[in-house]
Each structure stands twice: as C-alpha cells, then as structure tokens.
Amino acid sequence: MYFLDRLPSSKYSGIPLETKRTSDYKEISIEETIKLLDTSVDGLTESEAKKRLDKFGYNEVREKRRSPVLDFLSRYWGPMPWLLELAIVLSYFAHHYLEVAIIFGLLTVNVVIGFRHSRSSRRALELLKKRLAITSNVLRNREWIVKDAKEIVPGDIIRVGIGNIVPADAKILGDDEVSVDQSSLTGESLPVNVHNSGIIYSSSIIKRGEARAVVLNTGVNTYFGKTVELVKIAKPTSHQEQV
C-alpha cells in the first residue's frame, strides 16, 4: 500500500466541488483526482458527506411520479382507443345509442383493467426495490462502515469485492485489480479487467478481486444515470402509430 501512502491525506481545502463527466477522469492521475474531488485516502467525515449529500442529492435516479388521475385518463389516449372513440362518435351521429353505450363500456372496462394491473405491478416493483436495496462499504471518519448506496457522495472512498454491485462511478486506488461485468451498460459478454487508476461504472458487477476506489459521480451524473435519462426522453414511434 505504499502507493496509497503517497496520496494526500490532509483534510478538505474548502475549494468548491464541481461535477465533471466520468469520462473526463480517465486521463487524470489518482493524485489529481483526489485533489479535484477535495477528498483524501482517509475518506470523508460524516459532516462533510452530509454537505455533499445536500449539494448533489441522493445517489439514485428518481422516477417521475404521475398523478393516478392523469395515468387513468391517459389510457383513453392512443391508437386503439382513438379507433373506438371514433366508432362512438360515428354511432352517435347515426343515432345508434345502444352501440355508443356498449363501445364506451367496453373501452372503460379495458381502461380500468389496464390501470389496476399497472398499479399492482408498480407496487410489486417498489417492494422488490426495497428488498434489493444496495449497500456498500464506505470509509467515513476513518472507519469502514456499511451505508445504503443512495447515501454515497462524490469523494467517498468505497470498497468493492466479488459479487458486489458497483454503487457509483469510481476510480480504483492503489495496485488493486478487479474483473467487472459491464454487460448491462456496454453489452460486452465477457468481464473486463480494471486495475490501478481504471474506472468502474455504477450498476456493473464485480466478478473477481477486491479494490478500494474513490467515487467520481453519483445518481444522474453517472454513466448509468445518463443512460437512463436518455431512455426516458426517447420516444420511438410504435407500429400502431405508424399505421
């Protein structure tokens, strides 16, 4: 661990911490990274971590909550509902009021069933997320403790090992080496070996080895977070809409 002994161990300089893209840290040395993140190999104190948590927010990608009323009404909007609604209008002008009632009733029954199934699935997913909440070993106040991954902040020193899900984008310290499964991010079928100064990405899985690393980015600023945000705003045209 001679290499780590040469890294800065003094406390914080008070320099305002600004976010940089994870890719920007690839060509930056560990010493410079430690300086830019205004941290040390001894990790952060709880008070400093709290300040950074207030600034950067929790290490999570928040989902936009839709109003249940709007969610329900939105099910009347779409290619298939449009066809049924058009049939309702045509039947009304043709004075076929029974058909109007039947079509509207079938459409509403379909909306209610879809809404209830969606709500049930969402509740099951929320329960699963709570049970599978990720934790991580973090160096705080010069002691290793277990923290919820969402409480990790840039500048934290974390330790990852076999089977761990990487909680945030981080840069490996010392001469450690790990084998990482990044298939969920890059689509690569084989694990990638990452060693000294290499970067491991949030949501990837450690397959072999153990390492200490300094956290570079959290939440939506991670590679995974930015990918999720792009998926959210992407709106591909469905086959029905094309027809």
Tell me the pLDDT tens digit for each residue of 139-148: 999 999 999 9
- Say if residue 191 is in the same domain as residue 106: no
- Say if residue 85 is in the same domain as residue 161: no
- Say if residue 23 is in the same domain as residue 50: yes
- Say if residue 140 is in the same domain as residue 191: yes
Q: How far apart are CA 183 and CA 1, in angstroms?
A: 31
> What local confidence, expressed as pLDDT, does residue 120 receive?
81
- Residue from 52, 60, 53 nearest 17 by CA: 52
Find out whether 179 and 206 touch, Cβ atoms under 8 Å: yes
- Per the structure, the complete domain to which residue 30 belongs is given by 2-61+135-229
Residue 127 phi, psi dihedral angles, 5° rounding: -65, -40
> What local confidence, expressed as pLDDT, does residue 74 receive?
86
Which of 131, 157, 179 corresponds to the end of one domain?
A: 131
Looking at this protein, which amino acid is placed at residue 204? S
**With 0-12 CB in 10 A as exposed, 13-18 as middle and 19+ as buried, what is 127?**
exposed
> What local confidence, expressed as pLDDT, does residue 185 receive?
81
Tokens for 187, please give them: 């689509």
Q: How far is CA 207 from CA 62, 97, 115, 139, 177, in A?
A: 28, 65, 40, 22, 11
Pairing of strands 169-172, 157-160: unpaired
Question: What pTM was computed for the model?
Answer: 0.69
Residue 90 placed within a domain: yes
- Say if residue 32 is in the same domain as residue 56: yes
Tokens for 183, please give them: 């298939």
**With 0-12 CB in 10 A as exposed, 13-18 as middle and 19+ as buried, what is 236?**
exposed
- Residue from 239, 198, 243, 191 nearest 216 by CA: 198
Find out whether 224 and 202 touch, Cβ atoms under 8 Å: yes
- Say if residue 89 is in the same domain as residue 203: no
> What local confidence, expressed as pLDDT, does residue 15 receive?
45
- The per-residue pLDDT for range 173-208, each reduced to its tens digit, is 988 899 999 887 877 778 999 988 899 999 899 999
Tokens for 206, please give them: 């450690």
- Say if residue 183 is in the same domain as residue 144: yes
> What local confidence, expressed as pLDDT, does residue 10 receive?
45
- Say if residue 48 is in the same domain as residue 93: no
Tokens for 120, please give them: 């049930």
> What local confidence, expressed as pLDDT, does residue 8 receive?
53
Low-confidence ranges of the chain (pLDDT < 70): 1-18, 63, 124-133, 229-243
- Say if residue 36 is in the same domain as residue 81: no
Residue 7 placed within a domain: yes
- Say if residue 148 is in the same domain as residue 48: yes
Indicate the number of domains in the chain. 2
